[in-house]
Amino acid sequence: MINDLWYKNAVIYCLSVATFMDANGDGVGDFQGLMRRLDYLQGIGVTAIWLMPFQPSPFKDDGYDIADYYGVDPRYGTLGDFVEFTQGCKQRGLRVLIDLVVNHTSNEHAWFQDARKEPVSKYRNWYVWSKKKPKNASSGVVFPGVQKSTWTYDDAAREYYFHRFYDFQPDLNTANPEVQAEILKIMGFWLQLGVSGFRMDAVPFVIAEKGAHLKKPAEQYDMLRTFSQFLTWRQGEAIILAEANVLPDTDMEYFGKDGERLQMMFNFEVNQNLFYALASSDTRPLVKAVKATSKRPASAQWGSFLRNHDELDLGRLEDEQRETVFAAFAPESNMQLYGRGIRRRLAPMLQGDRRRLELAYSLMLTLPGTPVIRYGDEIAMGENLRLSERNSARTPMQWSTEPQGGFTKNDKPVLPVISEGAYGFQHVNVAQQRRDPNSLLNWMERMIRMRKEVPEIGWGDFKFLNARSTSVVAMRYDWRKNAVLCVHNTSSEPIEIRMAVDGPDESGCSLVNLLSDDHSHPEQDGRHRVLLEPYGYRWYRVCGLDYLLKRTEV
């Protein structure tokens, strides 16, 4: 049983401690720095923070190669600092989710070192071995072009070990009950230190059978129930938000028929089709994706997002659709990655066009789910394509016009701060945007506030209204006798739409604009006529017909 469904109407902000704020001047962000920025985060209105991995790590995959699950990397601070941080969040009503990376460890983890050196080690069976190189060793790599194999020979072990990701990330044998017990222990540990749950990394791989001779590894879905049950036994409000880029017809396996498995999953299906809609102005595949992922238990929730810390994975689109998105948003091969994705930030993909940025964010915020915002996107940060692979979109937060964008006093930051061109910190930073009432930052703050005030989106049922245009999405949410209507024009052309909207009673309805004064009354035929400017959007509350009239009388 879940005692508190806080995540149904939350706004999550994801950040990496390493690149957010450096307090001690060593060039690497830290918990002390992050703590200084908690009022900023509370100010923009987010209700939860998702921290990328911060545990001790050789840092070969941005910390997704963990060498000790029970600690804080000394570059970021101490466990004491972590608890100060969760306490600081608690004081401000912010919840904390942390990454749970248990598909694999770093090869420097003591478990792996012991396992490879000692055939009788208790840890030997915590990993996945094969005496011979399996025939399918070159299939199933996650990072094509960079990673060649999923099996690598280890000299000390004299066997091959399995690694779904890079060769320095040996897979844990997650079917082993001892490994499962350890995963629960890890979760229990961080729960005690104040977190409200986990963003679970690479879930389809965690639950897949692993071994040398498997033709088609089956998913062990029930493992998810074990994790989730443990969480809620320990702490009723705790959740798992899964990274699971899977086909819609398996969604229910992940959520569980009665919501007994995962509370949340990122909606990758909708994400990819959302970018297709932004690139092509054809919203039909997006509508289809939203409908295809509509089935979920009442307690479950989608995580909606635009960009994250990885490449924008377009692997589920049809080839032609993917080419359309590449042509619009990543025309140069250096902008693309792994043959399936884009390694850019949102703002440069949309050519810094404020109308398109607002449209993209407004649409994402109003899709069924809980929005997850990537740090820096609230000020329209850019990317650095000179950095390797996904690092292009992981540069430090730009706080001010001070050297290194105010991120650090050190002249050698962990990753270079963007300091050239239109997206350099001199032009794109928090300090300037705070002072400017028309900045994207202040726009985002208003939108987040309004998003929280329309719980219909997080909780309600939705349906699409027929706006008679393939470039327009019109969605209505109903919850507890309240309704909102969100309309988005993905096209660069203005469009007039006419819509029939049901009111609370038979006399029709008025639409109260939640973001401006431009409300709507039905015309004689009972329909609403809305003129949407290029990339225009509207959020309306559906009210009784006499609502606006009454207001003007007052």
Residues 253-292 that bind ligand GLC (CB under 6 A): none
For the chain, the 3-state helix, strand and coil shares in percent, each to the nearest 5, are 35, 20, 50
Residue 49's nearest CA partner among 95, 101, 110, 112 is 95
**Between 152 and 280, whose beta carbon lies closer to ligand GLC?**
152
Contact status: 183 vs ligand GLC (CB under 6 A): no
Q: Out of 44, 89, 128, 202, point to the residue binding ligand GLC (CB under 6 A).
A: 202
Is 201 among the residues known to form the active site? Answer: yes
**Between 182 and 260, whose beta carbon lies closer to ligand GLC?**
182
Catalytic one among 171, 243, 377, 456?
243
**Between 243 and 378, whose beta carbon lies closer to ligand GLC?**
243
Instruction: Please report where in the chains the tokens 């990993």 appear, as a residue.
Output: 127
Contact status: 82 vs ligand GLC (CB under 6 A): no
Is 253 among the residues known to form the active site? Answer: no
Catalytic one among 65, 154, 159, 201?
201
What count of residues does the chain have? 554
Contact status: 171 vs ligand GLC (CB under 6 A): no
Q: Are strands 159-162 and 197-200 parallel, antiparallel or unpaired?
A: unpaired
**Residue 308, token pair as written in the block:** 């994250």
**Between 64 and 423, whose beta carbon lies closer to ligand GLC?**
64
Q: Out of 2, 31, 41, 61, point to the residue binding ligand GLC (CB under 6 A).
A: 61
221's torsion region: left (phi>0), alpha (psi -120 to 50) or beta?
alpha
What is the C-alpha separation between 225 and 533, in angstroms, rounded?
Answer: 47
Q: Are strands 370-374 and 312-313 parallel, antiparallel or unpaired?
A: unpaired
Q: Torsion over CA of 180, 164, 307 and 434, rounded to 10 degrees?
A: 60
Strand-pair partners of 128: none
Rounded to 5°, angle at Cα 74 from 68 and 79 = 70
**Between 239 and 484, whose beta carbon lies closer to ligand GLC?**
239
Instruction: Please report where in the chains the tokens 């990753």 appear, as a residue.
Output: 415
Query: Cα 272 to chain center, whole Å?
Result: 13
Minimum distance between the CB of residue 100 and ligand GLC, rounded to whole angstroms?
A: 11
**Between 165 and 230, whose beta carbon lies closer to ligand GLC?**
165
Q: Out of 22, 30, 73, 201, point to the residue binding ligand GLC (CB under 6 A).
A: 201
Contact status: 477 vs ligand GLC (CB under 6 A): no
Query: With b meaning 16 or more CB within 10 Å and e meaning fewer, what string describes 165-184?
Result: bbbbbbbbbbeeeebbebbb
Binding string to ligand GLC for residues 308 to 337, with x set by CB under 6 A, is what? -xx---------------------------
21's torsion region: left (phi>0), alpha (psi -120 to 50) or beta?
beta
Contact status: 22 vs ligand GLC (CB under 6 A): no
Q: What is the CA radius of gyration of the chain?
A: 24
Residues 238-257 that bind ligand GLC (CB under 6 A): 243
Minimum distance between the CB of residue 388 and ligand GLC, rounded to whole angstroms?
A: 13
Instruction: Report DSSP letters for 229-263, one per residue.
Output: HHHHHH-TT-EEEE-----GGGHHHHH-TTS-S-S
Minimum distance between the CB of residue 308 and ligand GLC, rounded to whole angstroms?
A: 7
How big is the site for ligand GLC, counted in residues (CB under 6 A)? 9
Number of residue whose CB is nearest ligand GLC: 64
**Between 99 and 445, whose beta carbon lies closer to ligand GLC?**
99
Minimum distance between the CB of residue 453 and ligand GLC, rounded to whole angstroms?
A: 31
Contact status: 415 vs ligand GLC (CB under 6 A): no
Q: Out of 101, 290, 357, 381, point to the residue binding ligand GLC (CB under 6 A).
A: 101
Contact status: 165 vs ligand GLC (CB under 6 A): yes
Indicate which residues carry an active-site annotation: 201, 243
**Sites of contact with ligand GLC (CB under 6 A):** 61, 64, 101, 165, 201-202, 243, 309-310
